[in-house]
Amino acid sequence: MKLMEEQLWPLLKQHLQQTLTYWSVFFSFGLCISFLGPTILDLRCQTGATVEQITWVFFSQQFFLLVGSCVGGLFKKTLLASLLALFFCTLMISLLFAAIPFCHHIVPLFVTMAITGGAMGVIDTIANYQLVNLYQKNSAVFLQSLHFFIGLGALISPLVADPFLTDDNCTLETNRTPNYHHVQMNTSEHEAARLDQISTHGVPIEGEAISSVSYAFWIMALINLLTVPSSPGSAFSCCSPANLRGRPPSFFLIHALGGAILFLTDGIMGSYAGFVYTYAVSPPLLMGHKAAGCLDSIFWASITIGRLGFIFMSYRFTAPRLLTFSLVGAILVQFMLMIFYTSWVFLFIGTCVLGLCISSMFPSMLAFTEDILDYKGCATTVLVTSASTGEMLLQVVFGSVIQREGSFTFLLCCTTASVTALCCFLLFLYVQHLHRSSRAGKPTSATMPGLLDQADRQTSQESLL
């Protein structure tokens, strides 16, 4: 607490308005990122779409989130440009959410979610970059706080939607087969096959839609509007030849491995939030829609609580320790989920623990990487883009595997990705050691005067900070 009183609180007071702006827009980001999952059935009814078509709506949001993350670098050069970009992106998200209830076909919904994803990507890059640039070596705590607001928004989002969601069937009665929850477990082989088909593709959607989810989207648009900043950057300019000349191989490996770790961990987070509902309502669990819908809220609630806890842990423990704890904990709980795959109770417990473990991966990894690379800003752009790419691609890959092989592969895919992320992190620690060793033994001015002068100027700036 002494560090917080003597150093962090004065910093926060000094940059309070700007920091609150970044926190508020990340709350908006969180509202958007978890809203599609619980409303998928109602959106299918509204648009008359199949599960495969709705999956492409998810993809459009994630793909353009990646595009927005890259484009966001265009606005980061000046504070004014950053704040204006945040203002317009947050306002655009509110307007698009209000328009979703009027999308009665899959194409306008696809376009709407694509634009929303682009705005989210711009917010993601700018807020992370500006906060790191603002606090530099003290950025770890404030990044944890920033990503806490994503979790808070993602937690509130399903809770707002829940009262307006359809329980089992959002259409008027048809002559189709009754809901599969009323089918007995000792059904015939033909009925069991039909049960599996319904659990894979969802409940019937034929007939006139009777969903009330429009109210949820309008409420969300209003909440999001309240987060629009009141205050009125090249994407990869840091990767220009002038900035890369003379860099050691470890410099590039740190970017690549850091990006790979967040590619996997953010991909796991997005995939788990997106598919845990489908996994829960499929055999062998066959949970009810309402109960399964709570899993997404529990997952985001645990992420929110975890990030709140890691705010305090980040100034007591080093980033490598926090990251190791997060990755090992995520792997262990996913192995337990596979062992107790038929237990409803353990699915709820495991979802909660997994959210706690994986909650701090992005802010901790970003702060750690920028600290290694002396806060040049390039790492933020690369890591944000890599995380967005992972969240987009792994959902598509996992969804394809689940569709082809069955729901149990959902847990296997997540566990495999977690183990791979841990291996990448161990290699990252080794490369980080090599990088710092190479800097400690930097060349003399006779051999590389330009590089030495640049390093000396950097050391002087750090001592002033």
**Residues 263 and 222 placed together within one structural domain of the fold:** no
Going by pLDDT thresholds of 50, 70 and 90, the confidence category of residue 170 is low
Domain assignment present for residue 131? The answer is yes
**Residues 271 and 419 placed together within one structural domain of the fold:** yes
Which of 177, 200, 229 is where one domain is finished? 229
Domain assignment present for residue 196? The answer is no
Percent of the chain whose predicted confidence (pLDDT) is above 70 = 78
List the domain range (segments joined by +) for residue 63: 1-168+213-229
Percent of the chain whose predicted confidence (pLDDT) is above 90 = 18
Domain assignment present for residue 192? The answer is no
Question: In this structure, are residues 261 and 383 in contact, taking their beta carbons and an 8 Å threshold?
Answer: no
Q: Whole-model pTM?
A: 0.68
**Residues 224 and 289 placed together within one structural domain of the fold:** no
Nearest residue to 128 via CA among 387, 314, 393: 387
Going by pLDDT thresholds of 50, 70 and 90, the confidence category of residue 336 is very high
Read off the CATH number of the domain in which 122 is found.
Answer: 1.20.1250.20
**Residues 224 and 302 placed together within one structural domain of the fold:** no
Q: Average of pLDDT values for 164-177?
A: 56
Domain assignment present for residue 161? The answer is yes
What is the predicted pLDDT for the residue at 230?
Answer: 55
Q: Average of pLDDT values for 139-148?
A: 82
What is the predicted pLDDT for the residue at 201?
Answer: 41
Domain assignment present for residue 410? The answer is yes
Total number of residues shown for the chain: 465
**Residues 224 and 255 placed together within one structural domain of the fold:** no
Q: How do residues 7-58 score in pLDDT, each as one tens digit?
A: 677 877 888 888 888 888 888 888 877 777 677 777 878 888 776 777 788 7
Which of 181, 197, 229 is where one domain is finished? 229
Alpha-carbon distance values, 187 to 182, 192, 195, 286, 439 (Å) = 11, 6, 9, 14, 68
**Residues 307 and 403 placed together within one structural domain of the fold:** yes
**Residues 334 and 391 placed together within one structural domain of the fold:** yes
**Residues 128 and 254 placed together within one structural domain of the fold:** no
C-alpha–C-alpha distance, residues 371 and 139, integer Å: 9
What is the predicted pLDDT for the residue at 241?
Answer: 65
Q: How do residues 417-448 score in pLDDT, each as one tens digit?
A: 999 999 999 999 999 999 888 776 654 333 34
Residue whose structure tokens are 């470890």 = 250
Domain assignment present for residue 24? The answer is yes
Domain assignment present for residue 445? The answer is no
- 284, pLDDT greater than 70: yes
Going by pLDDT thresholds of 50, 70 and 90, the confidence category of residue 266 is very high
- 360, pLDDT greater than 50: yes
C-alpha–C-alpha distance, residues 302 and 261, integer Å: 21
- 220, pLDDT greater than 70: yes
**Residues 217 and 274 placed together within one structural domain of the fold:** no
Domain assignment present for residue 191? The answer is no
Alpha-carbon distance values, 322 to 353, 361, 364, 367 (Å) = 15, 8, 7, 12
- 6, pLDDT greater than 50: yes
Q: Average of pLDDT values for 124-131?
A: 86
Domain count, the chain: 2
**Residues 219 and 279 placed together within one structural domain of the fold:** no
**Residues 224 and 285 placed together within one structural domain of the fold:** no
Question: In this structure, are residues 211 and 42 in contact, taking their beta carbons and an 8 Å threshold?
Answer: yes
**Residues 155 and 302 placed together within one structural domain of the fold:** no
What is the predicted pLDDT for the residue at 198?
Answer: 38
Higher-scoring residue by pLDDT: 293, 173: 293
